[in-house]
Structure formats: C-alpha cells, structure tokens
Amino acid sequence: MSPRSQPTAATLDLVVPGLLGPVPAPDAPPQTPTLDLLLAHAASVTDAACGDLPSTLLARFGAAASAPYALAADDPVWDRAGWWLHADPVHLRPDRDLLRLFDARHLGISRAEADALVAALNAHFAQDGMQVHAPVADRWYLRCDTPPALHTTPLAQVTGQHIDPYLPTGADASRWAALMSEAQMLLFRHPVSQAREAAGRPAVNGLWCWGGGIWQPPAAAPSRVVGSGPLLAGLAAAAAVMHQPQCGERVDADLDAAGDRVLVLWEALDDALADRDPAAWAGAANRLERWLAPLPAMLRRGSVAAIGIDACDGTRRVVCGKDLGWYRRWRLGRRRPSLVQRAAVR
C-alpha cells in the first residue's frame, strides 16, 4: 500500500470530569500506570472555555447552549422551537444564614410529584411568559417567551455548595431573583413538598436555572461519540453522528475504525466526587485504567494518532505516539506522579 493510500489513524477525545479530583486519599488507592504514563507525557493547553462538562461538550460540537440539546434527548418529539433553560428541581437546605443546594439525583422525585409541581408552577408563571416542561421526572426545562439577559452556572458546580456565589448575574438578574424566590415559596408550600417533609424526605423546594439558548445544528462534531447523558445524546443526534451509550471492555474495542475521531465521555469519577465517595472514585479510576490499558501500544504503533484528555478543569492534555518514546523506561519503573497524587485534596 502506498503512503497516500494508508488509512488515517484514529484519534480519541477522552472527556473525564472529576479525573483530577480534588478527592481525599482513598483507603485503597487505584493502580493507574497507564493514566500516570499518559498524564506524565501529555502536552497541556489552557482552554478556559472548557472549565466544566457542559461547556466542554458544547465546545467539541461548536454549540452554544446545553438546555435545548438535553431537552431534545429527553423529549424526542419536541419541536426544537423556542428559547429554553434547564430548570432542575433541587432541595435547598438552610445552613446558618445561607442556602445549600442538593440536586435531584437522590431526591427520588416520582412522575406524579413532578406533574403536580410543574402544573402549579405553570399556573403561577403563565402571565410571565414562562412554561416549565418535565419530560423526565427529575430533569425539568423552562421556556421563556423573552430570553432573559443572564449569566448562569451549571448545576454540577453548585451541588453541595452555598448558592450565593453562583446566583445568575446580568442585566435581568434582579428580576430573575424575584421570580425564583416566588418559585421557591410556591414549591415549599405545595402539598407535594409538605407530604415529602412529613414523611422525612427532603422537599423539592427550588429550581436551578442554567444553560439557556436555542436549538440549532452544531457547527462541528466528532465522527462518533461514546457515553451517556442527555446532553451528549442530544448533541450527537443534532449532528447526526453515531452514538454508542456505553464503552466496551477495552479502548481497542471502541476505536475499531481507521480515521475515527471518537469522543468518549466517562462520568463515573465525577459522580463519585458529587457523592463525596473516595472509594467509588478509586473504583471508577481502576475501571478507566483497565479500559485504557491497550492505548500506549496503540499510540506507539500508530493505530491511534493522539489522545486528548479533558478533565473539564480548563486544561486540555494531549498525547501523541512520539510522546511515548520513554515507554521502556516507564516499564523499568521510572517514577512519576500517580493519579492519586495529582487528584489529592490540597
């Protein structure tokens, strides 16, 4: 085969929020020689626009707002019209003179509870040109007839935190704060929340709104995506690219086509951080290590041209085959920082 007719090597864009913690040292630290090697030889590029997972995925697709794409995945028959925000149901817990936010992952909101709460919100805000839609019981969206001038913060950055530093800013921030205060009072007083509290369950007493915009075809896309979550699924569908919900056992099973530009989303480490579970984080790191184990050999022989590792921390790390020229020295025990050391709470 002539050089011109040789197939193009695959490239891997690995998005791993939570990879670099911060996390307390687990009792049983993960063993991650492949990850340690890749991170040690990676060239780092600052990418301030990719400081969180939604922004990172949107950047990979050349898209502007997460809510409409996630909504398209959660509600496939939605007409793709209008300006939408995420309006995630949350539990707000008083902590001294502040409010601490907890997301819906552990609230166990039923379909009936969601329908009742959304109906009350829509009746209250009909005159304000806003409508809540809950295609999934614990993921809600808000349509605004007039898009507000707001700068918002993704829910994942606020979970477990006091909300004050993360409240929306912008020209419409004061009006928006008043509307959300009304929503909090309505939700707090609603029979659904009262019944939950009477049963010893946290009330659904707030909305966290973020990621607003309109749906439009993405400007860019990988050739294939692997991973779960409504935003990734919605972006893949909008770009008409192949979407595989789960990874295989090893990376070589997921990079099986020459010329592939594959984006893989691995969220298990971030989920463990959100739950403040160092043991779960270590287990997720061990699973990622097993999946990545064949990659150094694939890079050295040229079947993979490069891997980009994005921990959604504002820095992109890129490794090419030529960067692993010291692989033999690594095999002989050359010391380098471990993943646990890189991710440790400072």
pLDDT, tens digit (0-9, with 9 covering 90-100), for 191-228: 999 999 999 999 999 999 999 999 999 999 999 999 99
Which residue range is the domain that position 328 belongs to?
Answer: 7-64+219-343
For the chain, what percent of residues have pLDDT higher than 70? Answer: 93
- E-only strand ranges, the chain: 10-15, 43-46, 83-95, 98-102, 130-136, 139-144, 206-213, 224-226, 242-244, 261-265, 304-310, 315-320
Q: What is the mean pLDDT of residues 91-110?
A: 94
Residue 337 lies in a domain: yes
If asked whether residues 200 and 268 sit together in one domain, one would say no
Is residue 254 very low, low, confident or very high in pLDDT (cuts 50, 70, 90)? confident
Confidence at residue 1, expressed as pLDDT on a 0 to 100 scale: 39
Count of structural domains within the chain: 2
If asked whether residues 231 and 328 sit together in one domain, one would say yes
Q: What is the mean pLDDT of residues 150-175?
A: 96
Residue 318 lies in a domain: yes
If asked whether residues 29 and 96 sit together in one domain, one would say no
Tell which of 198, 213, 228 closes a domain. 213
If asked whether residues 268 and 174 sit together in one domain, one would say no
If asked whether residues 42 and 108 sit together in one domain, one would say no
Cα pseudo-dihedral 62, 67, 72, 73, rounded to 10: 90
Check pLDDT > 60 for residue 38: yes
Confidence at residue 332, expressed as pLDDT on a 0 to 100 scale: 43
Confidence at residue 319, expressed as pLDDT on a 0 to 100 scale: 93
DSSP for 315-335, please give it: EEEEEEGGGGTTHHHHHTT--
If phi over 0 gives left and psi between -120 and 50 gives alpha, with beta otherwise, what is residue 203? beta
Tell which of 213, 232, 252 closes a domain. 213
